[in-house]
Chain A
């Protein structure tokens, strides 16, 4: 299946809202690198065409769409799952475009093959370890002040734990918010049950209930 050239906004909306994950190339005729990226997408579509669809649009013909996704340079590739942008690559980073396409194709096929829904995946994830922390970054390099404070507090208990970097997986990042009905990160789970975020951990610490709670 070749890369589809999009000619109007309605067609674009239908395509990115499709069940199939979409890789959309925002391009311009005058930029040679765009042709290069398009060739890469053509190749990827031969390999992954049954799981991903590849489209290309002229960024300047669709200023509103480009604005919405803050396209600052062409080429930019944005990946859409059921209408929402789940990942992107700015510029001619062929390696990143390939690896992200493959990763998305894999997650699409693993979901299809095992019948594993996002809910099942999240359930398995929160049960990865008895004490599980979903955060931005990892324990050695937290990438948000709240995650950093949380790791410092949990480290003080000397309890073993595992972390998951939600910045590495947009599907988990969005899905877990709904799954656990909790809008922010970090999130702490004990034996698969949500304990809470940093505020709750701090309060448990102040009440001297933290260790007991985290041991489950």
Chain B
């Protein structure tokens, strides 16, 4: 059990990382312990994969103490466009 839900995480990521797009999927059947997140933000520009993930981990440091399983995909707007193109192909 954690006290967090998708909406809360989405709002926080949008606000703190000025994310253009955030998609949070609660994979825990609502108990709030397992989330999968896509984040698109300018804040990731020029950062390595590790740095991007670290930025998100730091933003959600408090929350991650309670969320048991968290997986993220973090893209810059340019990378996100490419990913979407690939998915359409």
Contacts and interface: CB of A to CB of B under 8 A. Distances in A.
A108 interface: no
Given A145-B69, A184-B70, A203-B73, A196 B57 contact: no
B64 interface: yes
B70 to A, nearest CB: 7
Contacts, number: 31
A183 B64 contact: yes
A203 B49 CA distance: 9
Interface in B44-66: 49-50, 53-54, 57, 61, 64-65
Interface string A182-216: 11100000000011111110011000000000000
Contacts of A183: 57, 61, 64-65
Interface size class, chain A: 10 to 19
Contact of B54 (A181, A195, A198): A181
A12 interface: no
Nearest to A197: B53
B57 A200 contact: no
Contact of A199 (B61, B64, B73): B73
A161 interface: no
- What are the nearest 8 A-B pairs in CB distance? A183-B64, A200-B49, A199-B71, A196-B50, A183-B57, A199-B72, A196-B53, A200-B53
Interface of A: 145-146, 181-184, 194-200, 203-204
